Amino acid sequence: AQSVTQLGSHVSVSEGALVLLRCNYSSSVPPYLFWYVQYPNQGLQLLLKYTSAATLVKGINGFEAEFKKSETSFHLTKPSAHMSDAAEYFCAVSDSPGGDYKLSFGAGTTVTVRA
Amino acid sequence: DTGVSQDPRHKITKRGQNVTFRCDPISEHNRLYWYRQTLGQGPEFLTYFQNEAQLEKSRLLSDRFSAERPKGSFSTLEIQRTEQGDSAMYLCASTAGAGVTDTQYFGPGTRLTVL
């Protein structure tokens, strides 16, 4: 089965600083990768997804991620953090041996933004 | 498009009681997924439906769990004889199509606490 590992359960950044969230995947086949964000007491919202087209994927709210096959990574970045970016972020891979396309999630990274 | 809704948002029950959760997907979405999220972890796949057919169940879904989607619209997840280990957030997601790149839209979740 495919899986993802998120490095760092908590990240603290200053407002205006770079946000970098790390995700590595393990897969024997080309993966489909996703980043979701979860705000307190809300469901998960898709930020962006990699579907084997461009390796640099742009998402909502100024986030982007780069797929690097050689490093088996799909790190999420945002050049300038905003207070509203404080949330929990999940990397996920689509695990679909039978076409079910269920998502396998990492443990998540909580982002706090300091004023 | 009102999004995926779940009811109730919170449920507190005593060990041994039965509970039932409801998920209303986005209108005309034919796939519906259930996930469970425990504290500090990412969501884990439980089961999914293609229209009214339940096509896969995770090993996490013990015999005490049952899910239905009787008319291919809303879905229910029932837990019988609840245990403290069942305490978690139960998330529902739906997709319009059956492709790997189809976005899964998540509801706000039902938080279950078993005393």
Nearest residue of B to residue A41, measured between CA atoms? B108
Cβ pair B43:A105 closer than 8 A:
yes
Q: Within 10 Å of residue B51's Cβ, how many Cβ atoms?
A: 12
Residue type, B60: L
- At A83, is the pLDDT very low, low, confident or very high (cuts 50, 70, 90)? very high
Cβ pair B56:A102 closer than 8 A:
yes
Mean of the pLDDT values across residues B45-64? 91
A109 to chain B: which residues are within 8 Å by CB? none
Question: Does residue A34 surpass a pLDDT of 60?
Answer: yes
Q: Tell me the percentage of chain B whose pLDDT exceeds 90.
A: 77
CA distance B105 to chain A (A): 7
Q: E strands of A18-95, at which residues?
A: 19-26, 33-38, 44-50, 56-58, 64-68, 73-78, 87-95
A44 to chain B: which residues are within 8 Å by CB? 43, 91, 93, 106
Cβ pair B101:A108 closer than 8 A:
no
Question: Does residue A96 surpass a pLDDT of 70?
Answer: no
CA distances (Å), origin A47, targets A25, A92, B76: 18, 11, 28
Q: Which of B33, B40, B99 sits opposite A102 (nearest CB)?
A: B33
Q: How far apart are CA A79 and CA A15, in angstroms?
A: 10
